[in-house]
A = this chain, B = another copy of it.
């Protein structure tokens, strides 16, 4: 069993929902868990590997609550387009080109990007997820994986995704968990969602689903079913198991009340919402009701980067703008949401905070860039001035996977060669071949 000491760092740790910054600390790790955080000792136990972290800030590994990681293969393929064109003219035709091997190399590239940005856990929602699972196993990160399925693909395809759940649950020394992933109430009908809810209950897992992303989707749902998208999720039993609701920008007040007290969390990726002009969620209201909210990167065909520092900053900035009040979402709330919020959404109580007994997912940040100096308000510095470029070292499940800004588990040159060699074929777009139709 590996033993590590992160020596003489400053630690951000939460007391309840309030971040505290404690200088001069050692973080002791045994196996995959943090065993102690204590003032830096003159003598360290001799059987520990020592990581000198003087001057560094230790924060929890970030939890990405909703992504489509292999979409990095199509990064920036369709900028400046609205939702309907984005689905029907950009991403659904491009995705028809993907082979399982493409998905593997896309996942590898996305994992390299996320590790370098301090993300140690991702809830990924995509296709060919056995390939993504293999990439996660290799990268050494943590993941909640869901094999996306559309209603039009039928129950046989749902059964395939169930077999994926059964096969990969708890694999990679427990770093991988698996959930079901029906695409959305606009591309899965209520009967299909009812079946997903029942299967999740039987398997003891959750569902990861897109919902209520645009005003247009609410209108469509009311026309089709006489119900809001969130009401459909409730009525099909999908909210009786754990669930990640991706985006959920337009719930009614009644919809929000349906979420209260359930094991349900909302994933927020404001960079996508801005880029695609979808509008923004009223987050203070969600938080007031005690609904779990976490940050997400979404896929990079809309968000362009897999970077939760960027999403954190955008969350803070855009919520103030939306409310026209600079006091909305103060830095403490933003940090709680960015770090502990993600763990809440994924139902992973041992993530999101650095304390004894929690899983050893730790990120060390340099604090010496001119742009991060001087340090007057540590919370504001972390939200508004520092960013993913300050990530120096990443530990996941007690293992060093990134050190001095170098990957230890992934060969970036090989990944870039593989991805770029596939690009001409992947970008050969035929609008008559689409994996689904967006009903916009």
Q: B-contacting residues of A (Cβ < 8 Å)?
A: 72-77, 79-83, 86, 109-110, 112-113, 116-117, 271, 273-277, 279-280, 300, 304-307, 314, 316-318, 320-321, 323-328, 330-331, 368-371, 373-374, 376-377, 379-381, 383-385, 387, 389, 412, 415-416, 419-420, 423, 427
Contact = CB atoms under 8 A, between A and B. Distances in A.
7 interchain residue pairs of minimum CB distance: A304-B384, A76-B380, A274-B317, A79-B380, A389-B389, A113-B370, A80-B330
A72 B330 CA distance: 21
Copies, count: 2
Contact of A327 (B81, B109, B385, B412): B81
A112 B271 CA distance: 29
Interface core residue of A79, A387, A415 (most chain B CB under 10 Å): A79
B370 A75 contact: no
A376 B280 contact: no
Nearest to A117: B371
A377 B327 contact: no
Contacts of A317: 271, 274-275, 314
A278 B41 CA distance: 48
A316 B79 CA distance: 11
Interface core residue of A300, A326, A379, A412 (most chain B CB under 10 Å): A326
Q: Interface on chain A toward B: helix, strand, loop, or mixed SS? A: helix
A416 B368 contact: yes
A77 B381 CA distance: 10
Nearest to A328: B277
Contacts of A307: 371
Contact of A277 (B76, B326, B374, B416): B326
Contacts of A321: 273-274, 277, 279-280, 318
Contacts of A374: 72-73, 75, 416, 419-420, 423
Contact of A305 (B271, B300, B385, B423): B385
A384 B275 contact: yes
Given A371-B116, A374-B420, A420-B374, A385 B76 contact: yes
Nearest to A323: B277
Contact of A370 (B109, B273, B328, B385): B109
A384 B387 CA distance: 15
A423 B377 CA distance: 12
Given A113-B370, A412-B370, A76 B326 contact: no
A384 B79 contact: yes
A326 B276 CA distance: 5
B327 A80 contact: yes
Given A327-B80, A330-B79, A305 B371 contact: yes
A304 B419 contact: no
Contacts of A279: 321, 324
A112 B373 CA distance: 11
A374 B415 CA distance: 11
A427 B112 contact: no
Interface core residue of A80, A306, A317 (most chain B CB under 10 Å): A80
Nearest to A314: B317
Nearest to A279: B324
Contacts of A271: 317
A304 B389 contact: no
Contacts of A370: 72, 109-110, 112-113, 116, 412, 415-416
Contacts of A280: 321
Contacts of A116: 369-371
A427 B373 CA distance: 14
A275 B384 CA distance: 9
Contacts of A300: 385
Contacts of A327: 80-82
Contact of A77 (B274, B376, B427): B376
A385 to B, nearest CB: 5
